[in-house]
């Protein structure tokens, strides 16, 4: 390790990340430079830029970094729990921004509409997440929730979790979606069984399940389009 690392204060002012952001905008900065601004400082013998480079390299780039857990981040020397929380908070804000609909109540006219709202976030989850879109009589989204986080290989969702929330939201119909961390969106036997249970429960309570999307990376499968429900 370099015993005399180049610190941010040693750089010419016009090359420092904060000054560059002020002058050129955030989009002009590299991932490491943006990360250095979040981290604020390095540790003894390691500058913040070196630390940022190390973090990016450790997780293989931005996508890996965004998927890293608090525990994984905090084990890196110079990060710790406080900085790990800062990084996770920044990524979570970005994820939530990515899922905000452009309209107050977007209309779902087909599977692409629903997939476009969640795929960019769900495709990178390391665990299975189960999302529900609550729709009104005009297929407008009145609410959208992540109601379950499962294990790496299975997401056990009971129909009552879905329809309790649907009734509370005043939904006329629902669309459900979950991700496959493997990246392969091919529906499993468990997916088919869950879809059948949800569809049956929806018919009983008068809130039909219009579709079940399986989110992979980079594609998704609509079980309705594929004739699986």
User: In the chain, which residues have pLDDT < 70?
Assistant: 1-15, 99-104, 152-155
Please give the pLDDT value at position 1. 46
Fold match flag (8-98 vs 101-222): no
Domain residue spans in the chain?
Answer: 8-98, 101-222
**101-222 CATH, one of 3.40.50.300, 3.50.30.10, 3.30.70.260, 3.40.140.10:** 3.40.140.10
Mean pLDDT of the chain: 88
pTM to 2 decimal places: 0.63
Helices (H), 123-169: 159-169
Assigned CATH for 8-98: 1.10.150.20
Which 3 state secondary structure label does DSSP give 161? helix
- Burial per residue of 134-152, b for 16 or more beta-carbon CB atoms within 10 angstroms, e otherwise: bbbeebbbebbebebebee
Which residues, other chains included, contact 228 with Cβ-Cβ below 8 Å and sequence gap of 6+?
A: 187, 192, 195, 212
The pLDDT of residue 189: 93
């Amino acid at each position: 390790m370099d015993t005399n690392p180049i610190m941010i204060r040693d750089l010419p002012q016009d090359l420092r990340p904060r000054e560059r952001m002020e002058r050129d905008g955030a989009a002009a900065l590299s991932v490491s430079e943006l990360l250095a601004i979040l981290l604020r400082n390095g540790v003894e013998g390691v500058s913040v830029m070196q630390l940022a480079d190390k973090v990016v390299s450790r997780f293989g780039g931005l996508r890996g970094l965004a998927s890293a857990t608090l525990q994984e981040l905090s084990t890196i020397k110079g990060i710790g729990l406080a900085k790990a929380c800062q990084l996770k908070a920044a990524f979570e804000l970005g994820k939530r921004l990515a899922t905000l609909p452009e309209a107050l109540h977007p209309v779902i006219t087909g599977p692409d509409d629903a997939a476009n709202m969640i795929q960019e976030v769900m495709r990178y989850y390391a665990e299975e997440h189960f999302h529900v879109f609550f729709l009104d009589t005009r297929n407008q989204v009145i609410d959208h929730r992540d109601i379950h986080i499962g294990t790496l290989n299975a997401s056990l969702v009971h129909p009552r979790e879905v329809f309790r929330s649907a009734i509370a939201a005043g939904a006329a119909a629902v669309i459900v979606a979950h991700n496959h961390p493997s990246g392969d969106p091919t529906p499993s036997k468990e997916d088919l069984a869950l879809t059948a249970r949800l569809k049956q429960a929806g018919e009983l309570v008068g809130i039909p399940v219009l579709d079940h999307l399986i989110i992979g990376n980079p594609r998704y499968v609509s079980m309705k389009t594929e004739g699986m429900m």
